[in-house]
Chain A
Amino acid sequence: MAEAQQNWNAMPDEDFRQIFRTWADANCPAELRFMRKQRPLYEEVKVWYQALADKGWLSPLWPQDYGGMGLNPAKHMIYVEEWARLGCPRIPDHGIGLTGPLLLHYGSDEQKEFFLPKILTGEHVWCQGYSEPGSGSDLASMRTTAVRDGDDYVINGQKIWTTLAHCANWILLLVRTDKDAKKPQQGISVLLAPLDLPGVTVRPIPNLREEADFCEVFFDNVRVPVSALVGEENKGWTLAKTVLSHERIFLGAPTRPEYALARLQALAEARGAFNDPAFVSRFAKLRLDVYDLGSAFERFARVLRQGGELGADVSVLKLFNTELYQRITEEMLEIVGEEARFNDDLDADDIMIDAMNLYLDSRAPAIFGGSNEIQRNILAKAVLRLPG
């Protein structure tokens, strides 16, 4: 049973920061810090997951009545900052960040009572079934169907890029329940399905880093009861787009580029690259980009700290951040010359630098969470109000 929670929001920021930092530093095992893997499996980080669960700190944003910490956005930022600063690993967090909030907003009492506690204990590990082979950026065009048959829905179709489906036991699904709807956004519903049902096949997809972060999930006449529906039938699109707006700031947090720049600097020191004026010039540009990203992040963070809400403009951070992360990792390969042919880590005065790992990893963030081109489309409409 998780510990009872205090009123964290009433606490001074620095006190909260100290308390979280001290506890996390003492409870997150050293071998899990700054993991090479961006998305470790549940089993790999179970110790950290359970420590958070026992402390009652697994779900920073859920209300305390439902076992969360009930943090406001300002305190949540501290939680995320300290987590990143200590290099704690990401945990499978679709239950905490997606299914939980969705049920809190739209779920029935029975659904909340059944599902929420099981997320907090780690008994249910969730994944997110949105994208399909023919429906990536244009998500509303998806074709996986759920057809009513008595008290069941029968699901047929395929999901893809389903992160960590191979370590999850439940999936939050977007399905088409009305093929004749006027607009593709209408006629979509949200269903909750266990992954051990007959007809479900999960197949991991190795990525460029030769790891399997994401999977294909096939549904062949899979039956779930109608109680698996969240909210109203055919109104799922609105539900699916409900992501707490303030969390979009974290896609732009300078943490990743800062980490990569520190690795580049270590590598450059070891290889004598700072003796090359051309490198110094390029490095200075990257350093200033990271610095200025911090200033831009602060501009949005301040809005949250003052109790305001973020608009669509916050995604400028995601654009800048992801493209900067790529440029930093590209520079790592630039300065090691022929050694960039190797797949393993690079020796920088006995510190091993995972340049290739970061180089490959940096391809992904510009694609996920809405590709950077989709972000630009949204900004053009929502911020610049350009004509369609």
Chain B
Amino acid sequence: MPQMIFDDEDGTFGLLRDSVSGFAADFHGPTRMRARRAAGSDLDRDLWAAMADAGWLGLSIPEELGGSGLGPRAQAVLSEALGRELISEPLAFLAVFSGALLSQSDESAARARLIEGLIDGSLVVTPAVQGVDGALSPLKAVATQSGLSLSGEAHFVNAAASSDELLVLAAQGDEVLLVAVPRALTTVTLRPTLDGAQLGRVALENAEISADRILSRQGLTLAEAAVNTTRLALAAELAGNASKALEITVGYTSERVQFGKPIAAFQSLQHRMVDMWADAEFACSAVVNACDRQDEGDALAAHLSILAAKARAGDAAVTVGRRAIHLHGAMGFTDECDIGHYMKRAVALNSALGQPEALRLQFLALERAA
């Protein structure tokens, strides 16, 4: 069955996969998702604390900053495993995106505090960098005596209500700053998501921020890099989602008997499932390729490979998910059956930070410009 294949000489990746399997036995992804949804919450605090205890939040933050420094392959393995188990807390944003922003920020006491809190789970640090169209969109910053006054809105903010700190972009003159904003200074409006969580619209109106909360004056560059790092984690999660949705469907159709035999014995279903399997295989190899391109010192190739992986894995997970529901028949359309939640999660992740069509057009434009 599909899985990302990496060399794993010291067994790190195998351990990581085992650790997620064990975790999922205690925290069943779909069950926790339903509970979170029923509570109208945007973060499962207990689950998040357990993920911190498992050591997953600082996986790709450099060791000298207190993280594990394991790099993109380990992050992909973890994200793939979470995708398989439908553990749907927004690790890609709160750990990967925020971790990438903070790791590249200037050294400061504020940064040290945020990174430490992010890794041990005591602070929920969420990126709030997107505009209403999803693109990176800085707030307005006005200089004050003690620092900045920020106004504007950020959209699609994960765990906005549960967060302690928001990482925002703020335009000041020609510069785009990266600034840490206490959530208490913002107004959060929530909307429910397809995957049983909430996304926040975050409004700031003349919020007074002290100068020591400015983390970098290269905010846009940092955010663009963090978007790509996060896309890779999302791609891995989507590949895991697709692989597991296929496996569940193979299992179900092999058990379900109609006309005196398992429905998986019918050729029309077999060919559909082979195509689903091929989609998942291609998603896995696209993510592996992207991981391999990250440390080769070719920035364009590294960027292109991520665009390709996110597009491929997103398409695969959504397509596999839709077909999986269909092959489950009416059962697949119930809220009680997990398979539909794989599809809903896939659609949500696929839509985050660029849908496949947009990513492909970006790939082509970059390649043709080179």
A contact residues vs B (CB 8 Å cutoff): 280-281, 283-285, 287-288, 291-292, 294-296, 298-299, 302, 313, 316, 319-320, 373, 376-377, 379-380, 383-388
Contacts and interface: CB of A to CB of B under 8 A. Distances in A.
Given A284-B364, A296-B281, 5 more contacts: A288-B308, A292-B286, A319-B278, A320-B278, A380-B273
Interface string B273-315: 1110110011011101100000000000000100010011000
B337 interface: no
B311 A296 contact: no
B342 interface: no
A295 B285 contact: yes
A284 B288 CA distance: 21
B270 interface: yes
B250 interface: yes
B262 interface: yes
B254 A386 contact: yes
Interface stretch (B52-60, B211-219, B355-363): B355-363
Contact of A387 (B261, B282, B304, B367): B261
Interface residues of B, number: 34
Main SS of the interface on chain A?
A: helix
A285 B360 contact: yes
B300 to A, nearest CB: 13
16 contacts: A280-B364, A281-B357, A283-B364, A285-B360, A292-B282, A292-B286, A292-B312, A295-B286, A296-B282, A296-B285, A296-B286, A299-B284, A380-B273, A383-B274, A386-B250, A387-B264
A285 B264 CA distance: 31
B258 interface: no
Interface in B1-56: 5
Main SS of the interface on chain B?
A: helix
A285, A296, A299, A384 — most chain B CB neighbours (10 Å): A384
Contact of B288 (A281, A285, A299, A380): A299
A86 B213 CA distance: 58
A376 B271 contact: yes
Given A384-B273, A384-B274, A292 B363 contact: no
A388 B364 CA distance: 43
Nearest to B270: A380
A287 B253 CA distance: 34
A387 B262 contact: yes
A288 B305 CA distance: 10
Nearest 9 pairs between A and B by C-beta?
Answer: A295-B289, A380-B270, A284-B360, A299-B285, A284-B364, A296-B285, A376-B274, A386-B264, A387-B265
A319 B282 CA distance: 12
A384 B277 contact: yes
Contacts of B5: 299, 302
Interface in B296-348: 304, 308, 311-312
B267 interface: yes
Contact of B282 (A320, A376, A383, A386): A320
Nearest to B364: A284
B250 to A, nearest CB: 5
A295 B364 contact: no
A377 B270 contact: yes
B253, B267, B281, B367 — most chain A CB neighbours (10 Å): B281
B100 to A, nearest CB: 23
A313 B278 CA distance: 9
